[in-house]
Amino acid sequence: MKPLASLPMYDADRPAVERLWRSIARRLRADGLADVPDALAWPGDGLDDHWLHPALLLSQTCGYPIVDHLRGRVQLVGTFRHTADGCDGIRYSSKLVVREDDPGRRLADFRGRTAAYNAANSQSGYHSLLALVAPLAEGGRFFGRALASGAHARSIEWVRSGAADIAAIDCISYASFARVRPEALRGLRVIGATGAAPGLPLITAGGTPAATLAALRRAVAAVFDDAALDGVRDALFLGGFEVVPVTAYEFVAELRREALALGCAAL
């Protein structure tokens, strides 16, 4: 099987993501890996199948899947440190976005209103928000409705249009929109932030050999020693790379357990 690679989670500036991958791929080839993909795949809605593909060389997932259905089925390569506002080392948070003219000033003001979220397996758009509203919930619910948009960009559109009233948008996506597509944020404001959690993990297939895993880590780390990539790192808000154990993401699972203990199983 031909190896697969993707970096699908922050795609507001795809040319910069592609340049990042070409640099990683070049280093992998120099390290002796054969048949490294020339270009990234962009799997769209088929992320779960993509992440679990036996030929997956490198991809990026979310913190919740890594402690849920991907647990024990993929290997953790490491985690980027990001520089966007709301990031601290490998940890990041989400911004609570509402319409500029909405009278609500704090999360409690949105009781019974409509929330938009990108996907139910998203830490940044769903579970981080669930952790915030669980202590405020009555009868297991806080919002009147919660609508799956399929993407942070669409959640923002729905808030702007009035189809939803509030959404949790991860701070890196928010910073990317502000830089690349500022019109997407026009008419919106931020009323708060979720708690911080470990950022999006880079993964490889469960069957990837140890030598290949080590080469992946070397190649990704080397990106941060290359002055020629200063512009790429700036465009993608990249500040470093850390090899972290998968247990670092147990924090995400604990947030879910706390929400359940408060009787709040869903937005």
Here the CATH number for the domain that contains residue 15 is: 3.40.190.180
Whether 132 and 208 share a structural domain: no
Are residues 79 and 203 both part of a single domain? yes
> Of 197, 218, 233, which residue constitutes the final position of a domain?
197
Q: 98 - beta bridge partners?
A: 166, 189
Alpha-carbon distance of 147 to 264, in angstroms, equals 16
Does residue 262 sit within a domain?
no
105 and 11 share a domain?
no
111 and 183 housed in the same domain: yes
Residues 207 and 228 in one domain: yes
Residue 103 clears pLDDT 90, i.e. is over it:
yes
Domain count, the chain: 2
- State residue 91's pLDDT score: 97
Bridge partner residues of 114 (DSSP): 145
- pLDDT the model gives residue 16: 95
Range of the domain at 183: 91-197
Q: Are 55 and 116 in contact (CB under 8 A)?
A: no
Whether the model pTM is above 0.85: yes
61 plus 40 within the same structural domain: yes
User: pLDDT category, 46, cuts 50, 70, 90?
Assistant: confident
Q: What is the pLDDT of residue 56?
A: 97
**What are the φ/ψ torsions at residue 175 (nearest 5 degrees)?**
-65, -35
Q: Can you give the pLDDT at residue 45?
A: 74
Strand 114-117 versus strand 166-170 pairing type? parallel
- What distance in Å separates the CA atoms of residue 231 and residue 240, rounded to the nearest whole number? 14
pLDDT in tens, 228-240: 999 999 999 999 9
Same domain, 100 and 190: yes
Check whether residue 71 and residue 102 sit in a common domain: no
CATH classification at residue 133: 3.40.190.10
**Residue 265 in domain:** no
